[in-house]
Structure 1
Amino acid sequence: MIKGLYEAHLPVSHLENSISFYRNLGLELAYQQDKLAFFWIVKEESWLGLWVSDKVELPYHPSIRHIAFRVEKEDIILAKNWLNEKGIGIRTSFGFDEYHQPLILPNNPHAHAAIYFDDPDGNSIELITPIRLDFPEDFKMMTLEEWLKREE
């Protein structure tokens, strides 16, 4: 029945700033009105809606104002440099500063690599990829660099 996520929505304060930011991430603008824009995440498969709203003032919580974009394993290794080249700062997450990201999340029994940053309105944006699924070992959060050394 369910095949994936079709859309997600975030509040923004200034639509043109947000449009520039998400274009900078490589997303294609699909539709725009006065206070609304949709970007294709995967064309004709999934999209992100940006709405000009005072809800942008709600404090961040993982259940709101957050979106995670899935990337390939090879890309997560390059993500920090890719974001830096675009002038996008990496946010400290789970006690790991920008120098210690990407990090490995122990979403037991799975392992995911992720890196975190904010859009212009402080919405939480994550790039994430599964590293190992059905991984029986219980482990603690670590940097991707530590994980790769461990896998050698």
Structure 2
Amino acid sequence: MIKGLYETHVYVKDLARSIVFYQQLPGLQLCHYEKERKIAFFWIGAPQKFMLGLWEKPEAEFSPRHFAFACDKNWILHESVSFLHANNIRCYNFLNDGTERPMVFCWMPAVAIYFDDPDGNVLEFISILEGEARPEAGVLPYDEWLRMGDKA
């Protein structure tokens, strides 16, 4: 029986640059590096719980991907944007509406904020919310979600 996703792997164009980038993300720890194979692995959260693999590939073999890091709701709402700014990482929401406010996917429901790694892989901080899903509401700012009457 499947219990979860243990690891994911993404391609990067410059492994050394990517290692520096991913090491600054909270909760990621470099756990293995192979210079010859041009790969690096990070524990996500606690060691041996989840893993991210980075593989350096030439431009012709590179294609950007998307994945999300599970985070605490309050951290996303109150600290994630300032953390990203402090680390010179541009963030945006799913609607890419020019604001940097986390948005709620009402069909889940979950709150999220997006950012890119140096190679254009689309990364996301996400937290599942309590309350009933409301798919008909689409994607909303968190304050509008709260006005709908769901639990925070």
**TM-score, reference length from structure 1:** 0.84
CA distance in 1, matches of 2:86, 2:92: 15
The ranges of structure 1 where at least 4 consecutive aligned residues each deviate by more than 4 angstroms after the TM superposition are 149-152
Could you list the runs of 5+ residues in structure 1 that have no partner in the other structure?
A: none
Amino acid in the other structure paired with 1:28: Q
8 Å CA contact 2:94–2:103 kept in 1: the answer is no
Q: Aligned AA for 1:127? A: F
Match of 1:88 in 2: 89
1:24-69 superposed Cα distances (whole Å, 9 cap, x missing partner):
103110000120000001311111000001332x3x4xxxx11100
CA distance in 2: counterparts of 1:7 and 1:73, whole angstroms: 22
Match of 2:40 in 1: 37
- Code of the residue aligned with 1:37 in structure 2: it is A
Structure 1 residues 10, 128: CA separation in 2 closer, same or farther (over 3 Å shift)? same
RMSD over equivalenced CA pairs, Å: 2.0
- CA displacement 1:105-150 (0-9 Å, x = unmatched): 12x2x21100000000000100000113543573131112333455
Residue 139 in structure 1 maps to residue 142 in structure 2: no
Write the letter of the residue equivalent to 1:123. N
Is the contact between residue 15 and residue 56 of structure 2 (CA under 8 Å) also seen in structure 1? Answer: yes
Aligned partner of 1:4 in structure 2 is 4
Secondary structure, counterpart of 1:47 in structure 2:
strand
Pairing 1:64-143 to 2, within 5 Å after superposition:
65-77=65-77, 78-91=79-92, 93-97=94-98, 99-106=99-106, 108=107, 110-132=108-130, 134-135=132-133, 138-143=136-141
Gap regions ≥5 residues in structure 2: none
Q: Partner of 2:53 in structure 1?
A: 49
Q: Distance between the aligned counterparts of 2:70 and 2:33, measured in 1?
A: 24
CA distance in 2, matches of 1:16, 1:46: 22
Identity of aligned residues (%): 36
CA distance in 1, matches of 2:135, 2:105: 13
2:80 match: secondary structure = helix
Say if 2:29 is the partner of 1:28.
yes
Taking the aligned partners of 1:140 and 1:93, their CA distance within structure 2 comes to 11
Structure 2 distance, partners of 1:92, 1:138, is 19
Letter in 2 for 1:12: V
* TM superposition score normalised by structure 2: 0.84
Conserved? CA contact 2:101–2:141, under 8 Å? yes
